[in-house]
Amino acid sequence: MKNPFVISDHTALSFSGGSTSGYMLWRVLQANSRDNLYDNLRVLFANTGKEEEATLRFVRDCAAYWEIPIDWVEYRDNEQGYALVTFETASRHGEPFEQLVKKRQYLPNPVTRFCTVELKIRAMHKRLRALGWRDDEGEWDQMVGIRADEQRRVAKIRTRGTSTEGSFETMLMPLADAGVIYQDVDAFWAQQPFKLELARHNGRTYAGNCDLCFLKSTDQRLALIREKPERAVWWVRMEKDGIGKATGDGSRFRIDTPNYAQIAEFAAKQGEIFPFGDPSMECFCGE
Confirm if 59 and 209 have CB atoms less than 8 A apart.
Answer: no
pLDDT digit string, tens, across residues 17-42: 999 999 999 999 999 999 999 999 99
Quote the domain boundaries for residue 229. Answer: 218-268
Which run of H or of E encompasses 189?
helix 182-189
Higher pLDDT, 81 or 285: 81
Q: What is the mean pLDDT of residues 142-165?
A: 89
Indicate if 137 and 233 belong to the same structural domain: no
Indicate if 238 and 181 belong to the same structural domain: no
Indicate if 114 and 234 belong to the same structural domain: no
Indicate if 126 and 43 belong to the same structural domain: yes
Reported as a pLDDT band with limits 50, 70 and 90, residue 246 is: very low
Query: What is the Cα 104 distance to its own chain's centre?
Result: 20
To the nearest whole number, what is the mean pLDDT of the chain? 89
Supply the DSSP symbol for 252. -
pLDDT of residue 278: 63
Kindly state whether residue 194 falls inside one of the protein's structural domains: no
Indicate if 223 and 110 belong to the same structural domain: no
Kindly state whether residue 196 falls inside one of the protein's structural domains: no
Kindly state whether residue 91 falls inside one of the protein's structural domains: yes
Report the C-alpha gap between 277 and 270 in whole angstroms: 19
Indicate if 119 and 245 belong to the same structural domain: no
Q: Which of 143, 147, 135, 159 minimizes the C-alpha distance to 183?
A: 147
Please give the C-alpha separations between residue 88 and each of 22, 52, 112, in angstroms, as whole numbers: 20, 14, 32
Report the C-alpha gap between 123 and 236 in whole angstroms: 26
pLDDT digit string, tens, across residues 209-234: 899 999 999 999 998 999 999 999 99
Q: Residues near 56 by Cβ (< 8 Å), separated by ≥ 6?
A: 17, 47, 87, 90, 92
pLDDT digit string, tens, across residues 93-149: 999 999 999 999 999 999 999 999 999 999 999 999 999 998 666 689 999 999 999
pLDDT digit string, tens, across residues 47-74: 999 999 999 999 999 999 999 999 999 9
Give, in degrees to the nearest 5, the angle at Cα 228 between 264 and 121.
Answer: 90
pLDDT of residue 184: 97
Kindly state whether residue 203 falls inside one of the protein's structural domains: no
Confirm if 139 and 10 have CB atoms less than 8 A apart.
Answer: yes
pLDDT of residue 48: 97
User: Any idea what the CATH number is for the domain that residue 50 is in?
Assistant: 3.40.50.620
Q: Is the pLDDT of residue 242 over 90?
A: no
Report the C-alpha gap between 220 and 279 in whole angstroms: 9
Indicate if 225 and 155 belong to the same structural domain: no
Q: Which of 125, 147, 114, 56 minimizes the C-alpha distance to 253?
A: 114
Indicate if 254 and 134 belong to the same structural domain: no
Could you write out the DSSP letters of every residue in 191-243? Answer: TSS----S--BTTB-TT-SSTT-TTS-HHHHHHHHHH-GGGHHHHHHHHHTTT
Kindly state whether residue 57 falls inside one of the protein's structural domains: yes
Report the C-alpha gap between 131 and 144 in whole angstroms: 20
Reported as a pLDDT band with limits 50, 70 and 90, residue 279 is: low
Kindly state whether residue 79 falls inside one of the protein's structural domains: yes
Kindly state whether residue 205 falls inside one of the protein's structural domains: no
Cα dihedral value 137, 78, 143, 205, nearest 10: -160
Indicate if 239 and 100 belong to the same structural domain: no
pLDDT of residue 203: 63
On the CB side of 192, CA atoms within 13 Å amount to 18
Domain count along the chain: 2
Which run of H or of E encompasses 89?
none
Confirm if 127 and 44 have CB atoms less than 8 A apart.
Answer: yes
Report the C-alpha gap between 105 and 142 in whole angstroms: 30
Indicate if 164 and 257 belong to the same structural domain: no
pLDDT digit string, tens, across residues 72-85: 999 999 999 999 99
Indicate if 105 and 231 belong to the same structural domain: no
Indicate if 127 and 255 belong to the same structural domain: no
Q: Which of 116, 68, 128 minimizes the C-alpha distance to 283?
A: 116
Kindly state whether residue 282 falls inside one of the protein's structural domains: no
Of 135, 169, 189, which marks where a domain is finished? 189
Report the C-alpha gap between 278 and 254 in whole angstroms: 12
